[in-house]
Amino acid sequence: MARIGTADLVIVANRLPVDRMTNPDGTLGWRRSPGGLVSALEPVMRANDGAWIGWPGGDDGELEPFVDDGLQLVPVALSPDEIEEFYEGFSNGTLWPLYHDVVAKPEFHREWFDSYVRVNERFARKAAEVASENATVWIQDYQMQLVPQMLRELRPDLRIGFYLHIPFPPAELFQQLPWRRQVLEGLLGADLVGFQLPGAAQNFIRLVRQRVGHKTHRDTVYLPDGRTVKAAAFPISIDAKNFEDLARTEAVDRRAKAIREALGNPAKIFLGIDRLDYTKGIHARLRAFSELIRDGQFDVEDAVFVQVATPSRERVEQYRILRDDIDRLVGRINGDLGRIGRPAISYLHSSYPREEMAALYKAADVMVVTPYRDGMNLVAKEYVACRYEGDGALVLSEFAGAAEELRQAWLVNPYDINGMKQALLQAYEADPKDIARRMKAMRKTVIEKDVAHWAARFLDELAATRPDHGKSVRPARRS
């Protein structure tokens, strides 16, 4: 066997949890990218000599592994062609729309898949080098679905987990994928395959039975060589305490008041925060809101909609089209309905620091989250975490994974514009007691089931899949 590494826990993800930045003196450095995943995994990584394998972004070529704030980071390089074919192409032009109910049309290109195979091989080889004997490897998300099987071939001693952050489609849609069998077999290299929702795990089990022909019973697949693979749901969450603490700071409180002031102190602020993505239903929600003004249900003096759309995947054609569509819609709505100093929609195509996000959540009376399909949607949970005073209304799509837990939100079907108008109006007019009752229940869920709980549950379950095999991950050291 080739050289074996020292890490007892290895995370494999498309991206490293750091971004390249230029220091004031002109040298290059790294900045930790904000995100729940890294903060959830950090303590358990530290307790287990963990390593994180991922693409650092960009096409700077090979980089040596390095340690950032005590975490061992192992960069995997992508060439400009691979960025186009593996990342923008197969990951974001094929799998992303296919796994999100075909909200946009997926493109199938053989050279994109070839690139996906090559890049997955590179990640698998790197994981095989870095992992210690009998280590645990946890592979993340749709860009890496072939890695479990490739890694198992290289290192049968490892305990391998896989987690999919986005939905897993029903057989009727997954079937379209020309490489459906390779993807299913790739995932079956894991001991445990985790999904956001039980329905996704069931879709997977059914497909494995139908398409690969393995025996299955409930949540378990029985492979011919005697190995078993378990598929189950582990709904992801956020570092709720961290968000609440941030929202409670004086600086965020001041900023929330300043935002309200700058908007002209309207009676109610509606808020949407999303990556600018066609799955998020931004267009439909703005239309619903604008129709309420046009219908005279409220006035631009009473209500404003703040929409933050964080730039995303800007080199992918469908994302460019979406950006133009939203620009045009916002222009038309504000042109038709706005008054001087009073636009109906305050649209921001930009990304913000976490403090500003918390201030926006705190300033918003009605949070509007209306994806056509979403694995979970962390924005909905972040809003709840920031509303420590127990007020604030959440309008949430039934098709976001979060809707299975946040049942007390105003649930909507984003395809039904009239239904959305009704829900927005109800949230706008709701009795504060009703709002408080709903928020209290949602806060209980978000605070109890945070991202640390998610990570611990997955790793415990993974350790239990083959108790006779592999060493166990040590629990996180509590600070």
What residues make contact with ligand GDG under the rule CB under 6 A?
A: 34, 165-166, 236, 273, 275, 310, 351-354, 357, 374-379, 382
State the nearest-atom distance from the C-beta of 74 to ligand GDG, in Å: 22
The single-letter code of the amino acid at 382 is: E
Question: Is the separation of the CB atoms in 171 and 45 below 8 Å?
Answer: no
Q: Which is nearer to ligand GDG, 382 or 405 (CB)?
A: 382
Q: Which is nearer to ligand GDG, 38 or 288 (CB)?
A: 38
Q: Which is nearer to ligand GDG, 21 or 67 (CB)?
A: 21
Query: How many Å apart are CA 387 and CA 408, to the nearest integer?
Result: 15
Q: Which is nearer to ligand GDG, 191 or 405 (CB)?
A: 405
* CA-to-CA dists, residue 363 to 138, 295, 408, angstroms: 38, 26, 21
Closest by Cα among 200, 194, 195, 191 to 229: 191
Q: Which is nearer to ligand GDG, 32 or 466 (CB)?
A: 32
Q: Which is nearer to ligand GDG, 8 or 277 (CB)?
A: 277
State the nearest-atom distance from the C-beta of 363 to ligand GDG, in Å: 15
Q: Which is nearer to ligand GDG, 34 or 156 (CB)?
A: 34
State the nearest-atom distance from the C-beta of 461 to ligand GDG, in Å: 17
Q: Which is nearer to ligand GDG, 95 or 292 (CB)?
A: 95
Q: Residue 80, class by beta-carbon neighbours within 10 Å (0-12 exposed, 13-18 middle, 19+ buried)?
A: exposed
State the nearest-atom distance from the C-beta of 141 to ligand GDG, in Å: 8
* CA-to-CA dists, residue 3 to 6, 126, 133, 256, 477, angstroms: 10, 11, 11, 54, 29
DSSP string, 180-224: HHHHHHHHTTSSEEEESSHHHHHHHHHHIIIII--EEETTEEE-T
State the nearest-atom distance from the C-beta of 385 to ligand GDG, in Å: 11
Query: How many Å apart are CA 468 and CA 132, to the nearest integer?
Result: 17
State the nearest-atom distance from the C-beta of 274 to ligand GDG, in Å: 7
Look at residue 21 and give its three-state secondary structure. Answer: strand
Look at residue 136 and give its three-state secondary structure. Answer: strand
Other CB atoms within 10 A of residue 37 CB: 22
Q: What six digits make up the tokens of 429?
A: 């007019």
State the nearest-atom distance from the C-beta of 404 to ligand GDG, in Å: 12
